[in-house]
């Protein structure tokens, strides 16, 4: 695959997983996903070996340690490397994911369905990825605008953890915004519920037994 095809594939894959896992620092993640998606070819070109060390799965294993320092950055690098391997696995020659332990190329598709780099098939894959990328971005913009107009949609669009936090905060605010005034006068019990900056609401309870 061409470098621009790998970049497009990494961006699409990262945006999908970023939405699923509700990641922060999306712009930073997109940059590292794009850079890591072309890293295998750059490394192999430097050591004059096509699809060698740069295309090994060991780089993904090493990138896991970056997650402990910056989750979004490490996740983006893993996505970029993974997307490169996945795209190369549908090409004519495949990809040696176990290099240098094993130099056998990993290939997904049958021989007549594999994509040859630099051909119209490669361009078709690139255009399909660009279409997906534009679709994802347009949907994100549309949801953002809807959320800005409709507060209920904005609440529904939040992640479950965010919704729970909002509900807890709302509950806490509700508890602190009410004053209760109890007047116990013989048989009739008068309960006044007073909300800050609003009118009072009175409830009259009759025939309440003492202690009950």
Q: What is the reported pLDDT for 137? A: 87
Q: Which domain, by its residues, includes 189?
A: 178-206
Q: Are residues 131 and 194 in the same domain?
A: no
Q: Are residues 56 and 95 in the same domain?
A: yes
Which residues fall within 8 angstroms of residue 202, CB to CB, at 6 or more apart? 190, 191, 192, 193
Peptide bond just before 100 cis, omega within 30 deg: yes
- The structure's pTM equals 0.65
Q: Are residues 121 and 202 in the same domain?
A: no
Indicate whether 138 belongs to any domain.
yes
Q: Are residues 186 and 100 in the same domain?
A: no
DSSP 56: -
Q: What is the reported pLDDT for 168? A: 54
The tens place of each residue's pLDDT in the chain, 212 residues long, gives: 889 999 999 999 999 999 888 888 899 999 999 999 999 999 888 886 667 888 889 999 999 999 999 999 999 999 999 999 999 888 888 888 888 788 777 887 777 788 888 888 889 999 999 999 999 888 888 877 776 665 544 444 555 555 555 555 555 544 445 555 555 555 555 555 555 555 555 555 455 455 44
Q: Distance between CA 11 and CA 8 in Å, rounded?
A: 5
Count of structural domains within the chain: 2
Indicate whether 170 belongs to any domain.
no
Q: Are residues 183 and 96 in the same domain?
A: no
CA count, 13 A, side-chain hemisphere, 185: 6
Q: Are residues 121 and 147 in the same domain?
A: yes
Which residue's structure tokens are 């009259």?
204
Indicate whether 169 belongs to any domain.
no
Q: Are 81 and 60 within 8 A, CB to CB? A: yes
Indicate whether 166 belongs to any domain.
no
Residues present in the chain in total: 212
Q: What is the reported pLDDT for 31? A: 96
Q: Are residues 42 and 107 in the same domain?
A: yes
Beta-ladder partners of 202: 192
- Helix or strand holding residue 204 (H, E): strand 200-206
Q: Are residues 24 and 123 in the same domain?
A: yes
Q: Are residues 200 and 112 in the same domain?
A: no
């Amino acid at each position: 695959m061409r470098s621009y095809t790998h970049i497009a594939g990494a961006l699409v894959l990262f945006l999908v997983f970023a939405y699923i896992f509700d990641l922060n620092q999306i712009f930073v993640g997109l940059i590292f996903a794009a850079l890591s998606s072309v890293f295998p070819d750059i490394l192999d070109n430097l050591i004059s070996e096509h699809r060698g060390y740069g295309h090994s799965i060991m780089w993904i294993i090493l990138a896991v340690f970056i997650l402990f320092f910056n989750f979004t950055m490490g996740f983006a690098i893993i996505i970029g490397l993974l997307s490169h391997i996945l795209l190369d696995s549908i090409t004519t020659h495949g990809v040696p994911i176990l290099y240098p332990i094993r130099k056998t190329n990993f290939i997904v598709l049958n021989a007549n369905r594999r994509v040859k780099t630099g051909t119209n098939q490669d361009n078709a894959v690139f255009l399909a990825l660009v279409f997906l990328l534009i679709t994802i971005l347009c949907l994100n913009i549309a949801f953002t605008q809807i959320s800005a107009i409709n507060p209920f949609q904005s609440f529904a669009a939040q992640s479950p953890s965010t919704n729970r936090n909002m509900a807890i905060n709302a509950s806490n605010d509700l508890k602190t915004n009410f004053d209760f005034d109890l007047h116990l006068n013989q048989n009739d019990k008068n309960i006044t519920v007073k909300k800050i900056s609003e009118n009072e609401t009175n409830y009259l309870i009759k025939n309440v037994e003492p202690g009950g």
